[in-house]
């Protein structure tokens, strides 16, 4: 089994859409770990705040198979593929890391560049897997978080109570 770390975000009915995505992941993958959840400001456009987190899953899928599966998940939740890159999102689920894979494919770049650019991606990843080595670099995610020192002032931890399962 391979380990993948997925960035999850939504700013359209985010509690419902994040829970739906996590429910789908729990159904599809044998092991799932979740970071703390954060509320963060929209990046690159004026919009409602996002809820962001990182999920770690074990999978037998290849990176491209997993990407296809995640796109289907997003589409099933009503993701609008015609909207601008920086816009409201019903759900956004991206592969951040896949084991120690380095990939530069037209459909998938690993590690995902946003890890090193946005606090709403790096912070929950560091919370979930601080000792994980960043592929091709050797530093841990926690070391990268400290070294990059992204502005985390817009991140607010939130209570994950809405994720409680019956």
The model's pTM: 0.94
* Other Cβ atoms closer than 10 A to 47: 15
φ, ψ for residue 104 (rounded to 5)?
-130, 80
Question: Would you state the structure tokens that stand for residue 47, as one six-digit string?
Answer: 């919009």
Secondary structure class of 118 (helix, strand, coil): coil
Sketch out the chain's domains with CATH numbers.
2-157 (3.30.70.560)
Residue 24 pLDDT? 96
φ, ψ for residue 12 (rounded to 5)?
-115, 110
Q: In tens digits, what is the pLDDT along the chain, a chain of 166 residues?
A: 999 999 999 999 999 999 999 999 999 998 899 999 999 999 888 999 999 999 999 999 999 999 999 999 999 998 877 777 777 889 999 999 999 999 999 999 999 999 999 999 999 999 999 999 999 998 999 999 999 999 999 999 999 888 775 4
Residue 162 pLDDT? 81
Residue 38 pLDDT? 97
Residue 86 pLDDT? 75
Torsion angle in degrees (nearest 10) through CA of 103, 106, 109, 114: 160
Residue 31 pLDDT? 84
Residue 165 pLDDT? 55
Distance, in Å, from the CA atom of 11 to the CA atom of 8, rounded to the nearest integer, reads 11
* Other Cβ atoms closer than 10 A to 3: 16
Secondary structure class of 87 (helix, strand, coil): coil
Distance, in Å, from the CA atom of 51 to the CA atom of 40, rounded to the nearest integer, reads 6
* Other Cβ atoms closer than 10 A to 40: 22
Question: Would you state the structure tokens that stand for residue 86, as one six-digit string?
Answer: 């920086």
């Amino acid at each position: 089994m391979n380990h993948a770390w997925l960035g999850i975000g939504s700013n359209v009915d985010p509690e419902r859409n994040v829970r739906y995505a996590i429910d789908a992941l729990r159904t599809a993958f044998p092991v799932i770990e979740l970071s703390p959840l954060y509320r963060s400001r929209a990046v690159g456009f004026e919009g409602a705040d996002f809820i962001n987190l990182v999920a770690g899953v074990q999978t037998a899928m290849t990176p491209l198979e997993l990407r296809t599966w995640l796109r289907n998940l997003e589409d099933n939740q009503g993701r609008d593929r015609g909207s601008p890159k920086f816009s409201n999102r019903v759900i956004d689920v991206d592969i951040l890391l896949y084991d120690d894979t380095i990939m530069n494919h037209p459909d998938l770049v690993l590690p995902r560049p946003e890890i090193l650019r946005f606090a709403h991606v790096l912070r929950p990843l560091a919370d979930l897997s601080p000792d994980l080595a960043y592929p091709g670099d050797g530093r841990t995610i926690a070391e990268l978080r400290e070294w990059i020192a992204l502005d985390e002032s817009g991140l607010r931890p939130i209570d994950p109570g809405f994720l409680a399962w019956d």
